[in-house]
């Protein structure tokens, strides 16, 4: 039976058994083949194509992993702070950002399927080495700091659960290193997908908080704006936390490594959409959980995700705080794996090195060497007593804010290049949403940067 890719969807292949010495007529067995990421995969023992949850398990992958990794320790801290300070008032922003995240992540998946190449690889080829090096420089600094914050999040979560971070952080780094360096892409992807299940801790925490669902709906569909600087800064923070450059890099590179194919593009789109919607839905539940508990009793000083978990315990009960801590641990573990991978993908693509989880150390030495160094750096720095995590995250946010509009411009220009994308070129509708997202993000980043610059001189940009 040929192993060439099927042209579309599902096909039924008849395998005729050889005749046997029997008066009965020949029997015909059916074997189903499913076209997954451009590869014709035989589904043994099945009489019909997978449906329901089984079909989704085949489809889901880079989109769900990349978007869920965005709900990392810094993201949880931002969403928790939003709920604690302003209750349900900013949920409408999350709904708008869900649309933007769907558009951006889907463009990355489509570009990867259309070209078979990563984002930094295409930037280097189309716009020159200078732009690729500029992007890589910021990615290295920003992602390096974020990796430290993820291991700090792991340490904070396990201490809340009664374990020592001195033992768990090195053990977590060693486990992630082993899975990536000695595993294959399929196995690593399955483990990452399993790790996303921990995010269901946040709907549980939100329900246990007994929120006013009427107020939740009001916050979701009735925009509320304030002029105070904290509100504006948190609004900008929500946008920057929801769409971060490493998510786009990982989405596209993983789609390529998984075997995305322009001829049967479709599952990749579904994966990107489901990942973006699931991720932001979990973020909304974080806001709801802290709004219903901490905001309701006036506990608004939340700076880290661990602060939120501690504050929930006396208000919503010990179990709610434990559930929140479990969510923090799972989110930090996933991001601590995805961030070094995304960074290694970006650097390898920018300089034309071999890359991929499916390769071994000998064939992709720079890729795995950088991944290893980032893991060691993140885990070691997280064990340093008194590390200024909050200040670190602030400056990382600024760096990612500078990089994000640049990445979005490259992404939009590349997605509209018919020489690369052919039949998968951006539609007019996608261009409107994409450039609209770029405009909003750029405006938000400009406000954030001006706020920081004027703040250095003691000037309140918004008055008051």
Q: What is the pLDDT of residue 429?
A: 92
User: 135 near 120, Cβ under 8 Å?
Assistant: yes
Domains of the chain: 1-55 (no CATH), 60-456 (1.20.1740.10)
User: 441 near 243, Cβ under 8 Å?
Assistant: yes
Task: Look up residue 188 and give its two tokens.
Answer: 């690593």
Q: What is the pLDDT of residue 10?
A: 37
Task: Look up residue 153 and give its two tokens.
Answer: 């999040």
Q: What is the pLDDT of residue 289?
A: 87
How far apart are alpha carbons 315 and 323 in whole angstroms? 14
For 85-102, write each residue's pLDDT tens digit. 898 999 999 999 999 999
Dmax (CA) for the chain in angstroms is 96
Of 276, 439, 100, the C-alpha closest to 284 is 276
For 222-258, write each residue's pLDDT tens digit. 988 877 777 777 777 788 778 888 888 888 888 888 8
pTM of the predicted protein model: 0.80
For 350-369, write each residue's pLDDT tens digit. 888 888 888 888 888 999 99
Crossing angle of the two packed helices 185-195 and 62-69, in degrees rounded to 10: 50
The DSSP element (H or E) to which 43 belongs, if any, is strand 39-43
Q: What is the dihedral of CA 436, 439, 441, 445, to 10 degrees?
A: -170
Residues of the chain with pLDDT under 50: 1-47
């Amino acid at each position: 039976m040929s192993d060439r890719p099927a042209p579309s969807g599902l096909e039924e292949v008849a395998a005729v058994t050889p005749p046997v010495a029997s008066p009965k007529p020949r029997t015909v067995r059916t074997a189903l083949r499913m076209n997954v990421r451009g590869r014709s995969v035989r589904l043994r023992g099945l009489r019909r194509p997978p449906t329901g949850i089984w079909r989704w398990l085949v489809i889901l992958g880079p989109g769900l992993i990349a978007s869920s990794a965005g709900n990392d320790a810094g993201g949880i801290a931002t969403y928790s702070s939003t709920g604690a300070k302003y209750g349900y008032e900013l949920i409408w922003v999350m709904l708008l950002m869900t649309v933007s995240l769907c558009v951006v992540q889907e463009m990355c998946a489509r570009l990867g399927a259309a070209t078979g190449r990563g984002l930094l690889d295409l930037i280097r080829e189309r716009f020159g080495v200078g732009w690729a090096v500029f992007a890589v420089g910021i990615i290295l600094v920003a992602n390096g700091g974020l990796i430290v914050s993820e291991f700090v999040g792991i340490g904070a979560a396990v201490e809340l659960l009664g374990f020592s971070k001195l033992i768990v952080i090195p053990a977590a780094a060693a486990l992630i290193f082993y899975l990536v360096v000695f595993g294959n892409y399929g196995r690593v992807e399955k483990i990452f997908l399993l790790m996303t299940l921990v995010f269901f801790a946040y709907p549980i925490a939100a329900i246990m908080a007994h929120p006013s669902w009427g107020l939740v709906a009001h916050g979701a569909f009735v925009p509320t704006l304030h002029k105070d600087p904290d509100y504006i800064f948190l609004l900008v923070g929500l946008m920057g936390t929801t769409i971060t450059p490493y998510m786009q890099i990982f989405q596209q590179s993983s789609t390529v490594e998984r075997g995305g194919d322009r001829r049967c593009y479709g599952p990749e789109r579904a994966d990107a959409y489901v990942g973006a919607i699931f991720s932001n839905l979990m973020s909304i539940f974080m806001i709801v959980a802290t709004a219903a508990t901490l905001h309701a009793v006036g506990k608004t000083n939340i700076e880290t995700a661990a602060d939120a978990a501690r504050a929930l315990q006396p208000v919503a009960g010990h179990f709610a705080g434990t559930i929140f801590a479990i969510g923090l641990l799972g989110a930090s573990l996933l991001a601590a794996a995805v961030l070094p991978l995304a960074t290694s993908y970006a650097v390898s693509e920018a300089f034309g090195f071999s890359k991929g989880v499916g390769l071994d150390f000998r064939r992709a030495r720079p890729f795995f060497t950088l991944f290893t160094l980032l893991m060691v750096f993140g885990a070691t720095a997280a064990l340093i007593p008194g590390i200024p995590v909050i200040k670190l995250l602030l400056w990382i946010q600024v760096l990612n804010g500078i990089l994000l509009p640049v990445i979005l411009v490259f992404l939009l220009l590349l997605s509209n290049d018919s020489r690369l994308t052919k039949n998968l070129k951006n539609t007019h509708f996608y261009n409107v949403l994409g450039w609209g997202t770029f405009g909003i993000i750029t405006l938000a980043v400009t406000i954030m940067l001006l706020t920081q610059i004027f703040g250095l001189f003691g000037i309140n940009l918004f008055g008051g």
